Amino acid sequence: MSIKNSKVQNILHYLNNKEKTHEEVASDILKVIGEMDFVKEDISEILNVNFLPVLSSSVLFSIADKMMTLYGKESINFFTPIISYLLRKDPNTALKFVILLIIDNNARNREVGRNLWDEMALHTKNLNPLMLTEQQQALFIISMLQDIGNPDFRLPPIMPLFNSENKNIRLILLKFRK
């Protein structure tokens, strides 16, 4: 079933006309995402850049999780245009979203985040990992080094963390160095 799904059409209607509150729209989207008949075409419509400003990060995380469950690494193709759009409109928000994916508790979201990092060459963007909290710094290190991804893209944002004020962060890096 594709966008003909009346529930998805209703969500798109609410997003377009802003007849519901942000919380109500987010709740509706999360309900639809959880349904078995939710397919790629539906996700594409919801992830249309015209609707991005009203989607909360929790909704985007839920979409990321659903996409990874249904389509694996192919789901990166849905998020690349979103990150491109956000990088043009608000680079800080784009980086924050990808970093939140990278450090998320859900392994599929972390994988989406790392894949976006590599695909979009986000290592070239102006990221200061020292601005993250201690916990975020630790999770960022662990997640970025979790798989055998592209070290040319993954190591540059981690290197400044050797200068972290947090002793625990430096210890984590030393453990990985061994």
Spell out the residues 6+ positions from residue 29 whose beta carbon is closer than 8 angstroms to its own.
11, 46, 55, 59, 62, 63
Give yes or no for residue 135 having a pLDDT over 90.
yes
Kindly state the percentage of the chain with pLDDT values over 90: 20
Is the pTM higher than 0.75? The answer reads no
**DSSP string over 38-106:** --HHHHHHHT-TTTGGG--HHHHHHHHHHHHHHHGGGGHHHHHHHHHHHHHH-HHHHHHHHHHHHT-SS
Tens digits of per-residue pLDDT, 136-153?
Answer: 999 999 999 888 778 888
Tens digits of per-residue pLDDT, 29-52?
Answer: 667 666 666 666 666 666 665 566
Residue range 69-96: mean pLDDT, rounded? 78
Mean pLDDT of the chain: 78
2 or 97: which carries more pLDDT confidence? Answer: 97
Residue range 19-33: mean pLDDT, rounded? 68
Highest mean pLDDT among 4-13, 82-91, 96-105: 96-105
Residue range 130-141: mean pLDDT, rounded? 94
What pLDDT does 26 receive? 66
Of 33, 34, 53, 57, the closest CA to residue 43 belongs to 33
Tens digits of per-residue pLDDT, 111-123?
Answer: 888 988 998 888 8
Tokens of 20: 């519901």
